[in-house]
């Protein structure tokens, strides 16, 4: 059986040994490749997911195929969280933005564990609250922040969820995530490069000066992260 000391997922690592034992026999390891859908929109959620590495995008789409990212999670969180709220599906796709690895657990086994432990349920619901705070902050940033502030915020959020400073991201992907034209992303990346905040090469962005990137993001970054720390702990 999986040992709790070997996991990197923040939520799994914080569980009591009794709560971890409710999940551990049912956790299946898996590789998470870029663009792999882990929770498809408007279909029955088959599994909950706990990432060890990588990043998942939660994406809202319209009937005309226009899409925008509304949230992300990595090793600090979990996927399939509508299950915790009594829903067996979500209107939003969740798919791999940065490749990694993690564990999945069948929905039925996950719900049995949650229903069998108030402390497990409470911790995971605290995470859901922190995530919804993030999605609200994303809406505020998209509606009121300049594109350079929004890009800085998004890069910081990704940086929080990886080891090292290199993000394997393309301009096309950034364009979809931010809901702006690719040319706008390219121009903004050049501005951030000119300020020596990042270095952008084909398919990669390297964070050079996180402190100044945080100053650029301003009030658009930090509230969901503070809420996570208040309720759960450090990422």
pLDDT digits (tens, 9 = 90+) for 92-136: 999 999 999 999 999 999 999 999 999 999 999 999 999 999 999
Q: Which CATH class is domain 4-141?
A: mainly beta
Same fold, 4-141 and 145-231: no
Mean pLDDT to the nearest integer, 68-93? 95
Distance of alpha carbon 178 from alpha carbon 187, whole angstroms: 14
Model confidence over 13-34: pLDDT tens digits? 999 999 999 999 999 999 999 9
Confidence category of residue 178, pLDDT binned at 50, 70, 90: confident
Residue 28's alpha-carbon distances to 23, 112, 121, 164, 179, in angstroms, are 10, 16, 20, 27, 34
pTM for the whole structure = 0.93
- The upper half-sphere exposure of residue 197, i.e. CA atoms within 13 Å in the direction of its Cβ, equals 22
Model confidence over 143-169: pLDDT tens digits? 898 989 999 999 999 999 999 999 998
Confidence category of residue 63, pLDDT binned at 50, 70, 90: confident
Mean pLDDT to the nearest integer, 77-95? 95
Residue 61 reports pLDDT greater than 90: no
Contact predicate 64/13, CB 8 Å? no
DSSP class per residue in the chain: ---GGG---HHHHHS-HHHHHHHGGG-EEEEE-TT-EEE-TTS---EEEEEEEEEEEEEEE-TTS-EEEEEEE-TTS-B-GGGGGT-S--SSEEEEEEEEEEEEEEHHHHHHHHHT-HHHHHHHHHHHHHHHHHHHHHHHHHHHS-HHHHHHHHHHHHHHTSSSSEE---HHHHHHHHTS-HHHHHHHHHHHHHTTSEEEETTEEEES-HHHHHHHHGGGSSHHHHHHHHHT---
In percent, how much of the chain has pLDDT > 70? 100
Residue 179 reports pLDDT greater than 80: no
Residue 8 reports pLDDT greater than 80: yes
Mean pLDDT to the nearest integer, 2-22? 97
Structural domain boundaries of the chain? 4-141, 145-231
* pLDDT at residue number 11: 98
- Describe the crossing of helices 223-231 and 118-144 by its angle, rounded to 10 degrees: 170
Contact predicate 43/80, CB 8 Å? no
Residue 183 reports pLDDT greater than 80: no
* pLDDT at residue number 204: 92
Domain covering 145-231 in this structure, CATH number: 1.10.10.10
- Does 46 or 234 have the greater pLDDT score? 46
* pLDDT at residue number 174: 79
In percent, how much of the chain has pLDDT > 90? 80
Distance of alpha carbon 54 from alpha carbon 213, whole angstroms: 21
């Amino acid at each position: 059986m999986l040992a709790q000391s070997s996991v990197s997922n923040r939520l799994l690592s914080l569980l009591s040994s009794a709560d971890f034992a409710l999940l551990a026999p049912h956790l299946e390891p898996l590789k998470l490749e870029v663009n792999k859908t882990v929770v498809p929109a408007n279909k029955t959620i088959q599994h909950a997911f706990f990432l060890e590495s990588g990043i998942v995008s939660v994406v809202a789409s319209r009937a005309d195929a226009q899409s925008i990212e509304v949230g992300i999670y990595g090793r600090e969180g979990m996927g399939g969280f509508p299950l915790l709220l009594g829903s067996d599906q979500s209107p939003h796709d969740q798919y791999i933005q940065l490749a990694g690895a993690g564990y999945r657990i069948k929905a039925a086994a996950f719900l049995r564990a949650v229903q069998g432990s108030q402390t497990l349920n409470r911790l995971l619901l605290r995470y859901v609250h922190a995530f919804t705070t993030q999605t609200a902050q994303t809406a505020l940033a998209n509606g009121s922040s300049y594109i350079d502030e929004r890009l800085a915020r998004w890069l910081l959020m990704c940086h929080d969820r990886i080891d090292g400073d290199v993000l394997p991201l393309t301009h096309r992907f950034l364009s979809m995530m931010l809901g702006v034209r690719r040319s706008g992303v390219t121009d903004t990346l050049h501005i951030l490069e000119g300020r020596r905040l990042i270095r952008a090469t084909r398919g990669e962005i390297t964070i050079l000066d996180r402190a100044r990137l945080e100053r650029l993001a301003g009030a658009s970054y930090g509230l969901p992260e503070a809420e996570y720390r208040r309720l759960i702990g450090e990422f």
